[in-house]
A and B are shown apart, each in its own frame.
Chain A
């Protein structure tokens, strides 16, 4: 999305929200959380062949505190659910979640005693990517969709409402 505003020699006026969204959407640093076979496809997407860095997901954050997007790729067992929740809680706002693969979305083929049936009952999910495993193109498509979603957000809405109420 092109930023709207007015500009001249050395100055530019736009909306604060647009500026924030522009920054956020162009650097969605992922936290790669590969727990099963989908993790392999995630690695392929991050490597030079597909090069996820083209979309600003330049640097995989292995610490949740510096990550923006939780890229959950793989089966989540019931034993693992507290770990996933803790990692999500540790991420700083703003944060988004991509559920990659049938397992992360719904439990996939593993309808058993040990597998959690879809991570969206533990943490909020922004983008679901179906497939077992999804191809790298699908993951990149999901990331682009997330970028569009970020661009439509209103990060200052809360502050604006607080200001309105004060005045």
Chain B
């Protein structure tokens, strides 16, 4: 049985969509059912996706703006279609899974709308998710519920902003860091 069918059987109604691009399968699951779905993919005897390679954040700001009706693309669409289509969520998180037994790979995607930036952490399944989730928290500002130590990974603690968001300027907003000695702090 091919991978797509096995994934569909395993996830049942949790598989919102299953797409194939260049031989790689991407399955979108509801953000609320993320932990259940990943657990099912890990435990299912026909799949055994037991290894988490990476967790990636995506900011779809340009797409998001276009579909919302500000861009050219939206104007060309017929009006009734524009009303019906829900605005796509701005952020996405992709989990890259690998089965060490069969060497098969799978992408699991969830969508994170801008007004609800909290996602369940998958550190309860894979401890390896800890640092990638911290990175996404740092650079995209998405919160992970149940993460054991959610703090910035790459930028320093007092940093404001989330640099990988598309609306953040490439050269930053003039943030600097300065060495402050203990005596100076007391004064």
Residues of A within 8 A of B (CB): 78-79, 81-82, 85-86, 89, 111-114
Contact = CB atoms under 8 A, between A and B. Distances in A.
Nearest to A78: B177
A56 to B, nearest CB: 31
A78 B175 contact: yes
A112 B156 contact: no
30 contacts: A78-B156, A78-B175, A78-B177, A79-B154, A79-B155, A79-B156, A81-B176, A81-B178, A81-B179, A82-B178, A82-B179, A82-B180, A85-B179, A86-B179, A89-B179, A111-B170, A112-B170, A112-B171, A112-B172, A113-B163, A113-B168, A113-B169, A113-B170, A113-B171, A113-B172, A113-B173, A113-B175, A114-B155, A114-B163, A114-B172
Contacts of B154: 79, 114
Contacts of B175: 78, 113
Interface in B46-94: none
Given A113-B163, A114-B155, A114-B163, A81 B171 contact: no
Ranked nearest first, the 3 interchain pairs of A and B with the lowest CB-CB distance are A113-B172, A82-B179, A85-B179
Contacts of B156: 78-79
Contacts of B177: 78-79, 81-82
A97 B156 CA distance: 26
A22 B164 CA distance: 52
A86 B180 CA distance: 9
Contacts of A113: 163, 168-173, 175
Nearest to A81: B177
- Most chain A CB inside 10 Å of its own CB: which residue of B156, B169, B173, B177: B177
- Most chain B CB inside 10 Å of its own CB: which residue of A78, A86, A112, A113: A113
A83 to B, nearest CB: 8
Contacts of A85: 178-179
- Most chain A CB inside 10 Å of its own CB: which residue of B163, B172, B175, B180: B172
Interface string B157-185: 00000010000111111011111100000
Contacts of B163: 113-114
